[in-house]
């Protein structure tokens, strides 16, 4: 028995499949991405991962997790909730290698270590907003609540440096909602996620140098926004060598300002 399918039915089938795929994409972007923990899916070594929200979805809210994947550039960022003695070594490694980074700071860091903040600025680094109390920002349902976590950081930064804070924001632990992204954009902020990170934040379970390199280097990719924690003793100890290894692989370190203006 043979089934004959004419061209008309083939075209109709293709149209239906296209519509179905578009609907699935819409549902993904507007439902699953509306409230989520930032996450990545790596396909293979050296290839940019997929985020749990697409670059197109994020772009409408001036949000980023990766740079141009056609360019061999990377962007180094640190989350700095508090200072535990590692920042001087981190800043020394950056200065030694002429690399500019972005430090996303919490109010605690600004209050306890204003001199380090001044040093960051003097040495050409960006200091970004990581919120006042490091909460679950997806629970901030009103602009008033959102501002209560953003504005104190801006005020402290201006008191310390005499300058306005540059408008880069990273939600604590990557927890966000679509409303958060809208609010950040309304306040003039660029929301910055990441495309490369590893488990480096447990103080009593720090990775070895070998473990750190094994996690980071194989997953390096064009346009990588790298997230490290400044509280990591391992990160402080390996940063000089890590930067050199990344450069040896042919990557150029760029800044978030260049990323958002490209």
Report the catalytic residues.
79, 229
The whole-angstrom separation of Cα 234 and Cα 57 is 34
DSSP 8-state symbol, 189: P
Beta carbons of 49 and 43 less than 8 angstroms apart:
yes
Element at 79 (helix H, strand E): strand 73-80
The whole-angstrom separation of Cα 135 and Cα 138 is 9
DSSP 8-state symbol, 99: -
Contacts of 230 (CB under 8 A, 6+ apart): 78, 79, 80, 83, 86, 87, 90, 103, 236
């Amino acid at each position: 028995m043979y089934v004959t399918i004419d061209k008309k039915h083939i075209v109709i089938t293709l149209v239906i499949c296209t519509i179905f795929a578009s609907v699935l994409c819409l549902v993904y972007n507007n439902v699953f991405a509306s409230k989520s923990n930032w996450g990545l899916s790596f396909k293979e070594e050296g290839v940019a991962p997929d985020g749990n929200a697409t670059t197109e979805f994020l772009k409408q809210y001036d949000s980023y997790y990766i740079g141009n994947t056609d360019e061999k550039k990377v962007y180094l960022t640190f989350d700095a909730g508090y200072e535990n003695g590692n920042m001087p070594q981190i800043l020394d490694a950056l200065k030694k290698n002429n690399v500019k980074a972005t430090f996303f700071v919490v109010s605690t860091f600004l209050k306890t270590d204003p001199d380090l903040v001044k040093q960051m600025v003097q040495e050409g680094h960006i200091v970004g907003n990581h919120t006042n109390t490091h909460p679950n920002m997806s629970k901030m349902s009103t602009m008033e609540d959102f501002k209560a976590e953003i504005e104190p950081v801006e005020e402290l930064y201006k008191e310390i440096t005499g300058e306005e804070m540059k408008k880069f924001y990273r939600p604590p632990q990557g927890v966000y909602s679509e409303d958060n992204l809208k609010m950040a954009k309304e306040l003039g902020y660029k929301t910055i996620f990441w495309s490369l990170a590893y488990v480096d934040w447990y103080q009593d379970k720090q990775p070895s140098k070998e473990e750190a390199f094994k996690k980071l280097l194989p997953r390096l990719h064009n346009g990588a926004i790298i997230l490290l924690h400044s509280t990591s003793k391992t990160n402080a100890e390996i940063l000089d060598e890590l930067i050199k290894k990344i450069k040896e692989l042919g990557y150029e370190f760029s800044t978030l300002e260049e990323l958002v203006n490209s």
